[in-house]
Amino acid sequence: MNTTGNSAVNLPPLPERMRPESLDDYVGQEHLVGKGCVLRKMIESGNISSFILWGPPGVGKTTLAKIIAKQLDRPFHILSAVTSGVKDVREIIEKSRSNSLFNKSRPILFIDEIHRFSKSQQDALLGAVEDGTFILIGATTENPSFEVISPLLSRCQVYVLKSLDKNSLDLLLEKAIKNDPVLKNIKIDIIEREALYRYSGGDARKLLNILEIIVKTNEGNNIVTVDNNIVIEKLQENIALYDKNGEQHYDVISAFIKSIRGSDPNAAVYWLARMLAGGEDLLFIARRMVILASEDIGLANPNAMLLANACFESVNKIGMPESRIILSETAIYLATSPKSNSAYLAINAALREVENGANCPVPLHLRNAPTALMKELGYSDNYKYAHDYNNNFVEQEFLPESLEGRRFYEPGENKHESEIRKRLTSQWKKYNY
């Protein structure tokens, strides 16, 4: 099979060879680029504004940006947040401004992994996005609400890309086997696809890499058979057990969080070790433990939030290898702590009430009265200052009239919240705790 031998030595990897060059060849994300959908309409109109593509690895963020630039015939600049600094950003800005004197089409600046840009780097972008020096397309695997500064985020639409479904993966495989200059000369018999799809996890790049690995390890054969056992065997030989940028990233952090929620410290430190050995971002791990401390432990042990936040701050200052100890201590503490999701349930219940139309006016006695007119209108009348009463408590209505007696918070079944329940029962007869 010479096609996979010497003649293919200088070819780029299969995912690069299969990178589509038009929207019609693009696989997946029909909710964005399908006929009549938002991004396609924007591209077809030529009226494009800055946006951020948020989604897992290998779903076509970079490809989509390149297609847009090509289809609109715009100058296209790429920066990687991993390797670029403020200086690189400013150079692109100056280059774009000087070129605009000769070219009416605004260039497109694509920033891969924009969530890794520091605040100063993002600040450097802001002015150029505001004055239209270029169209910004950012790509991120992390929630931009947490990772992109608010002024920049407010000037960009966010589009969510999804992992590829089975139909898209099927189509991708068929295209590769039929059209790739190497693979089309080989008879590839795919008997089973389950393992291919399971290990690719909706990541197009990973799927094509797996296929290429299997083909290359069968060099010399004109027929390549693919089944579940072959996929598993070849992956064990060729692919690392943890990929911080791929599906394993999501699977292992999920196992870690669920182990802590399930109060198993042994499983928690095992999954923590897997992430540390794989080079996972330490702050990502610490940030997830802060969330868990509030969501899953909450008022059963309020100190959990303090410790998790201290862990985040410490890891941010110290780094590896010492941070492994801090992360381990915190993970074990959280796993062995009593659990309660009462705060999580309370805010969700309150939000549902608000979303269902309960946008009630604030009662007059709870309003401030900084002006004479407000005082005349009755603002703050009959408000009872709690500290003027025994035990710093006096019964009065704090909810809007239409929600009087509505209970959102339910104390959990644990020692700390049992005490809270007793106190609420003695203070608030109307809530019937």
Residue 29, phi-psi category: left (phi > 0), alpha (psi -120 to 50), beta (remainder): left
Residues 149 and 96 in one domain: yes
Count of Cβ atoms closer than 10 Å to residue 34 Cβ? 12
Predicted local distance difference test score (pLDDT) of residue 281: 82
Residues 320 and 370 in one domain: no
353 within a domain of the structure (yes/no): no
Q: Tell me 22's DSSP state.
A: S
329 within a domain of the structure (yes/no): yes
Residues 35 and 153 in one domain: yes
Residues 150 and 76 in one domain: yes
Using the 3D structure, point to which of 143, 160, 177 is the last residue of a domain: 160
- Whether pTM exceeds 0.85: no
Predicted local distance difference test score (pLDDT) of residue 357: 67
Predicted local distance difference test score (pLDDT) of residue 311: 95
Residues 156 and 185 in one domain: no
Helix axes 166-179, 204-216, angle to 10 degrees: 40
Q: Where residue 278 sits, what CATH number does that domain have?
A: 1.20.272.10
Burial letters for 139-150: b for 16+ Cβ neighbours within 10 Å, e otherwise?
Answer: bbbbebeebbbe
Count of Cβ atoms closer than 10 Å to residue 174 Cβ? 11
Predicted local distance difference test score (pLDDT) of residue 238: 55
Q: Where residue 66 sits, what CATH number does that domain have?
A: 3.40.50.300
Q: Where residue 195 sits, what CATH number does that domain have?
A: 1.10.8
Residues 234 and 251 in one domain: no
Residues 206 and 253 in one domain: no
Distance (Å, rounded) from C-alpha 391 to C-alpha 122?
A: 50
Q: Tell me 79's DSSP state.
A: E
Residues 320 and 367 in one domain: no
Distance (Å, rounded) from C-alpha 193 to C-alpha 267?
A: 31
Predicted local distance difference test score (pLDDT) of residue 7: 46
* Domain extent at residue 288: 247-336
Burial letters for 85-112: b for 16+ Cβ neighbours within 10 Å, e otherwise?
Answer: eeeebeebbebbeeebeeeeebbbbbbb
Query: Would you give per-residue pLDDT tens digits along the chain (433 residues)?
Result: 444 444 455 678 888 888 888 887 888 888 888 888 888 888 888 888 889 898 887 788 888 888 888 888 888 888 877 677 777 778 888 877 776 655 667 888 898 888 877 777 788 788 888 877 888 898 888 878 777 888 888 888 888 888 888 888 888 888 888 888 888 888 888 888 888 888 777 788 888 888 888 888 777 677 888 888 888 777 766 544 445 555 566 778 888 999 999 999 999 999 999 888 777 888 889 999 999 999 999 999 999 999 999 999 999 888 788 889 999 999 999 999 999 999 999 998 888 888 776 667 788 888 877 777 777 777 778 888 888 888 888 888 888 888 888 888 889 888 888 888 888 888 888 888 8
Predicted local distance difference test score (pLDDT) of residue 128: 81
Using the 3D structure, point to which of 220, 238, 256 is the last residue of a domain: 238
Residues 218 and 255 in one domain: no
24 within a domain of the structure (yes/no): no
Residues 421 and 322 in one domain: no
Q: Taking the chain, what is the end-to-end CA distance rounded to the nearest angstrom?
A: 76
20 within a domain of the structure (yes/no): no
Residues 122 and 40 in one domain: yes
351 within a domain of the structure (yes/no): no
Predicted local distance difference test score (pLDDT) of residue 192: 84
**How many independent structural domains does the chain possess?**
4
347 within a domain of the structure (yes/no): no
344 within a domain of the structure (yes/no): no
310 within a domain of the structure (yes/no): yes
Distance (Å, rounded) from C-alpha 26 to C-alpha 34?
A: 10
Predicted local distance difference test score (pLDDT) of residue 340: 93
Residues 169 and 152 in one domain: no
∠ Cα 253 255 256 (to 5°): 60
Predicted local distance difference test score (pLDDT) of residue 79: 81
Using the 3D structure, point to which of 160, 184, 216 is the last residue of a domain: 160
